[in-house]
Amino acid sequence: MIIQTFSRLLLAALLPLSLASSAVQFDVVVYGGTSAGVAAALQTARMGKTTVLIEPSQHIGGLTSGGLGMTDTGSTAVIGGISREFYQNIRAHYSDDAAWTTEKREDFPFFRAGEDALWRFEPKVAEKVYREMLAAAKVEIITGERLDLRGSAGVEKEHLTIRAIIMESGRKFTGQRFIDATYEGDLMAKAGVSYHVGRESNATYGETLNGIQTRNARHHQFASNVDPYIVPGDPASGLLPGIHGNGPGEEGAGDKRVQAYCFRMCMTDAPENRVPFPKPDDYDPLRYELFARYLKAGTDGRYIHPAEMPNRKTDTNNNGGFSTDNINMNYAYPEGDYATRERIIREHTSYQKGLMWFLCNDERVPEDLRREMSKWGLAKDEFVDNDNWPHQIYVREARRMVSDYVQTEHDCFRTRDTPESVGMGSYNMDSHHAQRYVSSEGYARNEGDVQVSPGGPYRISYRAIRPKASECTNLLVPAALSSSHIAYGSIRMEPVFMILGQSAATAACLSIDADVTVQAVNYPTLRDCLIADGQVLEYDAPPKKHPTGRGPEKLGGIVVDDVSATLTGNWTPSTSTGGYVSQHYLHDENTGKGEKTARFETKIGHTSNYEIRLYFPAHGNRATNVPVTIKHNAGTTELAINQKTTGADGYTILGTFTLTAGQSSSVTISTSDTDGYVIADAVQWVEAK
């Protein structure tokens, strides 16, 4: 990285003044060669406009060519246009027998007959396909050019209009319209457009899944109690690396933390193509002491997630309480200068390479796990110019624009009518952990992981990919778009970025033709063009008033949902069985019997007799003897509930009890000695008639 930075400065110094100061004019300038940028440049060229695709690195495709080969599709039915064309071209590549060098096509289970696209692929194939598509459209590609981030040097702006962007080298590109397709939103920020970094509070947009989320943070969580101190039990000895000593913060409150980054490694178990995981020069055994203790205390058996790709390769992602996500270590990245970002990338590279070396070689790792992990290595024929390591760090989120329309969980759940659709998303609202901290009990815990299904495809508004008219009138932002943190967790998938990149380019071209600002583009015309080009803007499923149709506000009385329950032990959120209240229900994974409880508690508004109802989605794998304790005026009542069945309205009546104003009442679910899955969903208090 230091050599690359020096080379850039030297290039700028040696560049002829005539070239450094001269500007190259295009109709649409696309900055950022991510998947969104590729689609934007392609669409612009296909609409007959001049365009250039400028990428700071030497590679195009962003995460799609940077290791993320297991496409996060959600519903493939709403992936259209250039996005679907790319995956169709991927399939065409693997339809050739010559593409299969290490295994046979018929042995790869994801190449299925009758499908028009393939959603899993090797990184080098993704970049090859992208470059072939761009070459066919005669798109000019410029790599190795970074926007000048010093002060206002990188953007020439006249009133509300960007006239040109300037690179660190001094090269200038002028255009009528500009598209910021970077993950970081660098051009957007330098153009003076409003943005947000971190998590908004739930109160900001009336959401339920935003902000600090300890109650939802059950995925990729420590499955046992692990001491966080250098000397176990001694806070004065200091914390192990990667942990902060403060509490998580107030539930649902906003903060500046960013969900964790990692690299999506391309691994292989094919001996002829395998490179052993290297030991970093700065390897520090203490960095993995927390993991060693976790292994000793007992894990859930999840360490990495090597999803299968063609030719015996993987797209390897984070998995478990301690894995490839480098939690707490990326907060300065979104607004950092290049030196700051390079430092963070180096630290992430060292951490993740060290993690893999640790799993294969460190004697603190059980021998059978070391033996299993040593079967894997980096793919020799991938990322050959970067020591087989991915050239793109997974920037799961950075800056997010704040326009006059912000996509929120209400759009994802379709609880409001999203205007002016320019594409659809459908993947889970997926946030990785944003912090690792010390719990009040003195153990290491992760916070921030939320995995909630939107319940089907949803629309993304044109207004969310263009700035406020009062800030910039010729810029479009398809990647760092206007979205809350939790909604962005669903939108931020590579197929969606391609969809929005194509839509942004279409709007840019139409605004040039009509000689209007991007805010004044005629939406019916834009809509017709997008549909003609194969984009999917609507889905037949009717809008939902709530993700399950059973929002607490519809039930009446006092409702306490599982997100507000006080939990002990590790519970897992799920939406597998319908009929739950609010976003999901919890289950005990049918493990750790006696270690887990869920307490639903409320303060009574006025004295009366209340019928207390226990909500849960019944199923044949549920326990028949779930211990439930009800706290009321007369003391406590203990029941055993059969969760294989429930009433027609989805609840079981626990009884009618006298409750006094100002006093608390609670229902506690236990997993002790239960004979199946235990469910914790919601409890309702309704005044008895």
| Residue 440 domain flag | no
- Is 204's pLDDT higher than 90? yes
Whole-number Å distance between alpha carbons of 302 and 485: 26
606 DSSP assignment: S
- The tokens describing 289, both together, are 């002491």
| Residue 305 domain flag | no
Number of helices followed by number of strands (H, E) in the chain: 15, 34
Q: Which of 532, 566, 597 is the last residue of a domain?
A: 532
* Residue 110 CB coordination number (10 Å): 15
- Is 491's pLDDT higher than 90? yes
Q: Are residues 600 and 676 in the same domain?
A: yes
Task: Please identify which residue in the block is written with the tokens 């999840």.
Answer: 302
Q: Are residues 585 and 509 in the same domain?
A: no
pLDDT digit string, tens, across residues 380-421: 999 999 999 999 999 999 999 999 999 999 999 888 999 999
Judged by average pLDDT, the poorest of 84-93, 236-245, 502-511, 643-652 is 643-652
Whole-number Å distance between alpha carbons of 279 and 356: 8
- Is 379's pLDDT higher than 70? yes
Q: For residue 275, count CB atoms less than 10 angstroms from its CB and return exposed for 0-12, middle for 13-18, buried for 19 or more.
A: middle
| DSSP one-letter string for 22-73 | -EEEEEEEEE--SHHHHHHHHHHHHTT--EEEEESSS--STTTTTT--B---
Judged by average pLDDT, the poorest of 370-379, 450-459, 559-568, 576-585 is 576-585
- Torsions phi, psi for 143 (to 5 deg): -110, 165
Q: How many structural domains are present in the chain?
A: 2
Q: Are residues 31 and 172 in the same domain?
A: yes
| Residue 565 domain flag | yes
| Residue 119 domain flag | yes
Contact predicate 59/145, CB 8 Å? no
- Is 5's pLDDT higher than 90? no
The CA distances from residue 173 to 20, 31, 559, 648, 666, in Å, are 11, 10, 57, 65, 64
Rounded to two decimals, the pTM is: 0.81
- Is 221's pLDDT higher than 80? yes
Contact predicate 331/341, CB 8 Å? no
Q: Are residues 622 and 477 in the same domain?
A: no
- Is 21's pLDDT higher than 90? no
Distance between start and end Cα atoms, the chain: 72
| DSSP one-letter string for 429-456 | EEE---EEEE-TTS-EEEE--EEE--SS
Q: Are residues 63 and 188 in the same domain?
A: yes
The H or E element spanning position 501 is helix 494-514
Q: Specify the CATH number for the domain of residue 678.
A: 2.60.120.260
Instruction: Determine the structural domain holding residue 593 and report its residue range.
Output: 552-687
Q: Are residues 50 and 138 in the same domain?
A: yes
- The tokens describing 103, both together, are 């295994």
Largest CA distance in the chain: 89
Q: What is the mean pLDDT of residues 345-358?
A: 98
Q: Which of 474, 498, 532 is the last residue of a domain?
A: 532
Q: Are residues 158 and 110 in the same domain?
A: yes
State residue 259's pLDDT score: 97
pLDDT digit string, tens, across residues 104-156: 999 999 999 999 999 999 999 999 999 999 999 999 999 999 999 998 889 99
pLDDT digit string, tens, across residues 25-65: 999 999 999 999 999 999 999 999 999 999 999 999 999 99
Higher-scoring residue by pLDDT: 568, 484: 484
Q: Are residues 58 and 158 in the same domain?
A: yes
Whole-number Å distance between alpha carbons of 261 and 390: 13
State residue 436's pLDDT score: 98
Percent of the chain with pLDDT over 90: 83
State residue 9's pLDDT score: 43
* Residue 629 CB coordination number (10 Å): 16
Q: Specify the CATH number for the domain of residue 527.
A: 3.50.50.60
The CA distances from residue 373 to 355, 359, 367, 431, 636, in Å, are 11, 7, 10, 27, 51
* Residue 229 CB coordination number (10 Å): 18
Q: Are residues 507 and 562 in the same domain?
A: no
Judged by average pLDDT, the poorest of 166-170, 270-274, 553-557 is 553-557
Judged by average pLDDT, the poorest of 449-458, 521-530, 658-667 is 449-458
State residue 295's pLDDT score: 97
Q: Which of 532, 565, 598 is the last residue of a domain?
A: 532
| Residue 489 domain flag | yes
| Residue 158 domain flag | yes
Using alpha carbons, select from 381, 557, 493 the residue that is nearest to residue 70: 493
State residue 11's pLDDT score: 44
State residue 553's pLDDT score: 60
Q: Are residues 512 and 622 in the same domain?
A: no
522 DSSP assignment: -
Contact predicate 630/637, CB 8 Å? yes
State residue 23's pLDDT score: 72
Q: What is the mean pLDDT of residues 245-249?
A: 93
Using alpha carbons, select from 415, 300, 242, 315 the residue that is nearest to residue 69: 315
| Residue 9 domain flag | no
Using alpha carbons, select from 167, 165, 123 the residue that is nearest to residue 143: 167
Higher-scoring residue by pLDDT: 606, 277: 277
Contact predicate 325/262, CB 8 Å? yes
Whole-number Å distance between alpha carbons of 611 and 629: 15
State residue 7's pLDDT score: 45
pLDDT digit string, tens, across residues 330-343: 999 999 999 999 99
Q: Are residues 74 and 188 in the same domain?
A: yes
| Residue 40 domain flag | yes
Whole-number Å distance between alpha carbons of 595 and 271: 44
State residue 524's pLDDT score: 98
Contact predicate 59/126, CB 8 Å? no
Q: Are residues 576 and 516 in the same domain?
A: no
